[in-house]
Structure formats: C-alpha cells, structure tokens
Amino acid sequence: MLTDLVDQVKQELVKCARRAYEIGLQTGNGGNLSSRITGTDRVVIKGSGQSFGECTLENLVTVSLQGQLIDGQGPPSRELMTHLAIYNARPDVTGIFHCHAPWSIACAEFAADIPCVTLHAEAKIGHIPVLKVAGHADRAVVEAVQVLLVQHPGLKAFVQAKHGIFSVADSIRLAEHNAELVEETAQIAWLVALRKQQSPE
C-alpha cells in the first residue's frame, strides 16, 4: 500500500536526519533532505525551519514532482526547487541530502572542485564539482544545477559555493553517507594543501 511505502520513506528520512545531527554534519536548523517515493510522482522533504534533530514522521512534508503540496503541516524546505530539479533530471535518484558542511564550503571558496585525495573518495564519489552560483533555490540556482547534471552524468555530489554539499543516490541513506564522505574529503584536501603551502617541494 502507498501509505506503508510513505511511512517507510519517512522513517528512513528521520533516521538519516538524526544521524547527521548527532555526528555534527549539520548544526542548528540548516540543511535539508528528501526522498522520492518509488513508482509515484511524490517526494517527502524536511519541513522549513526544522532542524535535523527535530525531524519526525509528523513534520515531514509530501509534495509532487511539480512542487504541489500533498501532505504535511507548514511549508517544505526552501530548497525544494533544487531537489525537484535534480529528481526531474535524474530518474535514478531517490534520495537527496544537503548540509552546510564547513570544510566543503571552505574548500569551495578556492577551487573549481573538491579533489578526491583518498582512494576511497575516488572510488565512491569520483568527482565533486563546485557550483559557483549564489542564492537559495532560485531560478539561477535551479538552472545552474540542471546544466551541471547534464555536464556530469551520474554525478553523486557537488558543493554549492558559500552554501554546502548536495549529495544524491538511489537511497537517502547512501546520499547521507556520500555527504559525510564529501566533508571528510574536503577536510583532507584542505590539510594536504596547507601542508604543501608550508613545505613546498
């Protein structure tokens, strides 16, 4: 039944949100996450103003792929249009995770991409471009994301400059794990660059 499927999706979203909050991947009430309900045109997304630590089955919001509210109290995350742009461009994506991760944002200030220094990052993510566009899910951001997805088919993550990580996968659990890996990769890349600056060869 659809109701059972929606409940399963919501439970997984809450679980991933709580994990991200507990490990400090996202503080305060920033960030957002969503899941597409397989076989439907519905997406469940975090409500606006809610922290990851406050996510519950009751305060998640369900919308259509066109952005129409289907279920839930209060407005969906203001990043909704970015999520919908990704879902509409990538039918293989069923989970999107976004967080304001500091190492990734710092690296994005000075690079066109976050270098995958480790073998693990290279194997799991492969490429982490930086999207140099300002704004919160406005038309310019949505259009830039659409172009980025065309330029990089199969992309698993990108960092929006001055904003944070967007990671995508065929489940919200894997999308959240990918975001963790992007932030770890950015931290390592920053430390390697700092070391090279202090001791140039």
pLDDT tens for 99-122 read 999 999 999 999 999 999 999 999
pLDDT tens for 147-191 read 999 999 999 999 999 999 999 999 999 999 999 999 999 999 999
Burial 43-73 (b: 16+ CB within 10 A, else e): bbbbbbebebeebeeebbbbbeeeeeeeebe
Q: What residues does each domain of the chain span?
A: 2-198
Residue 59 φ then ψ, to 5°:
-105, 10
Query: Can you spell out the DSSP letters for 17-57?
Result: HHHHHHTTSS-TT--EEEEE-TTSSEEEEEBTT--GGG--T
How are beta strands 95-99 and 32-36 bridged, if at all?
Answer: antiparallel
User: Does domain 2-198 bear CATH number 3.40.225.10?
Assistant: yes
H, E, C per residue of 183-195: HHHHHHHHHHHHH
- DSSP bridge partners of 174: none
What is the pLDDT confidence band of residue 2, given thresholds at 50, 70 and 90? confident
